[in-house]
Amino acid sequence: MKVLDVALILISSAGLLHGMLFALYLIFFKKKKSLSNQLLGLILIFMAFRIGKSVLLNFGEGLEPIFIFIGLTFLLLIGPLLRWYVLSMTNAEFKLHKMHFLELAPFALIFGASLFVTRRWYENSEWTVVVFASGLIFIYLHLAFYIGLAWREFRLAMKRYSREEQTKSQKAVFRWLFLVLIGFALIWGTYVLNILDEAVPYVVGPIVYSGVIYFLTYKAFQLRATDLDGKVFKENSTNHLFEAITKMVVGERLYLESDLSLTKLSEMLGKSTQQISLAVNEHGKRNFNDYINFYRIQDSKKMLGNIEKDKYTISSIAFDVGFSSLSSFNSAFKKFEGTTPSSFRKKGTVA
């Protein structure tokens, strides 16, 4: 065996092993036992079986026809699972019902037929080419159809939530699903190109899969995708909590109090500091300190631009709007406005 073949086997096998380990982590070891993680784990397992068949077929000799056909049939599972996964990640109330499992009928029928495939029939039957080609076309069109359905569900979910209104978690879900769908479309395209043009080596499929699965694993942890699911789209307490925070902090101008803190606000609202921080991050688009300082800076801009209040020093304005020191005021002002309070006053600009 050539050195290049050994390297390709190692790369493909490593990707398969990585995908299986990630799947087992999601299904058995992940603390959050969500439907979405279970579905993703199953997708990775069945995809590994399919890719494993490719590796054995490309580098092995005398592979039994039954394994070739069964390996192909797993693609009939991946399509529906992928659609269900997108639905579970974008719908708070999504659950699997009996009707969903009817989508697995093509897999059940072709898998059952594959069990009767023998080497004698595979090598000698005049119908082998016709049956194999027909099955291959159907299976890859079936997967393409479901990738399209999954993409449609993804786009519909994005339309329901404008980008400006999306929370950080919702943006992470959309970003993750986009990458997952692109990844599976890339794997599908690689195999189809091999079927249409043998100039694309068959082993490219497993190699592309390995690259995709490594990248997706990295992005899953970066985006914390395995900690998220459709519940991030549910009208939950964070929406109402943020409304209460805004009413108190902005409506009652609580931001003018220099001793306002996350702990103090949590005590006033009867919520934990974690809940307050999450609500502000999700809906206020900034951390708690920046959220408070933003409103303080808006007040200070009005005072700095008011000629009648020109007699007030910058330090007095800083204390009036809730800052406990001039340095913290200067830092916050420059962060939001890109200039110093004194420069802003000289220009006489009112926002």
350 φ, ψ (degrees, to nearest 5): -115, 125
Q: Is residue 9 within 8 Å of 57, Cβ to Cβ?
A: no
Distance (Å, whole) CA 16 – CA 341: 58
Distances (CA, A) of 70 to 112, 245, 300: 9, 57, 70
Structure tokens at 100: 């969903």
CATH topology of domain 3-233: Rhopdopsin 7-helix transmembrane proteins (1.20.1070)
Structure pTM? 0.69
Output the six-digit token pair for 264.
């103090």
Residues spanned by CATH 1.20.1070 within the chain? 3-233
Residue 311's φ and ψ, nearest 5 degrees, are -75, -20
**Which has the higher per-residue pLDDT, 336 or 181?**
181
CATH 1.10.10.60 domain range(s) in the chain: 237-347
Percent of the chain with pLDDT over 90: 36
In the predicted structure, residue 304 carries a pLDDT above the cut 90: no
Residue 211 has pLDDT above 60, yes or no: yes
Percentage of residues of the chain with pLDDT beyond 70 = 87
Taking 70 as the threshold, does the pLDDT of residue 200 lie above it? Answer: no
pLDDT tens digits, one per residue of 231-245: 888 765 577 788 889
What number is the average pLDDT over the span 35-40?
95
Residue count of the chain:
351
d(CA 69, CA 65): 6
Burial (0-12, 13-18, 19+ Cβ within 10 Å), 247: exposed
* Fold classified for 237-347: Arc Repressor Mutant, subunit A (1.10.10)
What's the rounded mean pLDDT across residues 327-338? 90
Q: How confident is the prediction for the chain on average, in pLDDT? A: 85
Q: What does the pLDDT read at residue 236?
A: 58
- pLDDT band at residue 308 using 50, 70 and 90 as cut-offs: low
Is the per-residue pLDDT at 351 higher than 50? no
Given pLDDT bands bounded at 50, 70 and 90, which one contains residue 53?
Answer: low
User: Which sign, positive or negative, has the C-alpha torsion 132, 5, 43, 114?
Assistant: positive
Each residue's pLDDT tens digit, 111-167: 998 888 777 766 776 777 777 788 889 999 999 999 999 999 999 999 888 776 777
Q: State how far the Cα of 93 lies from the Cα of 169, in Å rounded to an integer.
A: 17
> Is residue 317 exposed (0-12), middle (13-18) or buried (19+ Cβ within 10 Å)?
buried
Taking Cα atoms as reference points, which of 105, 106, 18, 118 lies closest to residue 67? 118
Burial class, 78, CB count within 10 angstroms (exposed 0-12 / middle 13-18 / buried 19+)? buried
Residue 320 identity: D
**Rounded Cα gap, residues 86 and 173, in angstroms:** 10
* Closest of 42, 24, 33, 36 to residue 232, by C-alpha: 36
Task: Of 225, 193, 223, give the one whose Cα is nearest residue 208.
Answer: 193
Question: When comparing pLDDT for 297 and 9, which is higher?
Answer: 297
What are the CA-CA distances from residue 157 to residues 162, 281, 334 (Å)? 10, 22, 38
Instruction: Reply yes or no on whether the pLDDT at 59 is more than 60.
Output: no
